Amino acid sequence: MLSARFLAVGHGRTTLLHDVEFDIAPGEIVGLVGPSGSGKTSLLRVLTGLNRPLDGEVLIDGDPLPKRPRGQVAMLFQSARRSCDPRLTLRRSIEICAPDSGIDWDSLCTKADLQPALLDRRPDQVSDGQLQRAAIARALAGRPGYLLCDEMTAALDPAATAAVVATLRRAADDGAGVLFVSHDLPLVGACADRVLELQSSTVTETSPRKVPS
Q: Per residue in 66-85, pLDDT tens?
A: 766 667 899 898 888 888 89
Residue 185: pLDDT over 60:
yes
Average pLDDT over residues 161-182: 92
Report phi then psi at 38, rounded to 5.
-85, -10
| Cα 117–chain centre separation | 25
User: CA triplet 26, 29, 35: central angle to 5 degrees?
Assistant: 135
Residue 176: pLDDT over 70:
yes
197 in Cβ contact with 203 (< 8 Å): yes
Q: What is the pLDDT of residue 198?
A: 87
Residue 208: pLDDT over 70:
no
* Closest of 165, 172, 140, 155 to residue 26, by C-alpha: 172
Average pLDDT over residues 80-103: 87
Average pLDDT over residues 53-58: 94
Q: In whole angstroms, what is the distance from residue 171 CA to residue 179 CA?
A: 12
Q: What is the pLDDT of residue 22?
A: 95
Query: What confidence tens digit (pLDDT) does each residue in 2-14 have?
Result: 999 999 998 877 8
Average pLDDT over residues 156-179: 91
Q: In whole angstroms, what is the distance from residue 25 CA to residue 158 CA?
A: 28
Query: What confidence tens digit (pLDDT) does each residue in 106-145 have?
Result: 999 999 989 999 999 999 999 988 998 899 999 999 889 9
Q: What is the pLDDT of residue 120?
A: 96
Question: What is the percent of the chain with per-residue pLDDT over 90, rounded to a whole number?
Answer: 53
Q: In whole angstroms, what is the distance from residue 154 CA to residue 132 CA?
A: 11
Which domains can be identified in the chain, with CATH numbers? 2-178 (3.40.50.300)
Neighbours of 88 (CB within 10 A): 14
3-state secondary structure string across 74-111: EEECCCHHHHCCCCCCHHHHHHHHCCCCCCCHHHHHHH
Q: What is the pLDDT of residue 26?
A: 95
pLDDT bucket at 20, cuts 50 / 70 / 90: very high
Report phi then psi at 44, rounded to 5.
-65, -40
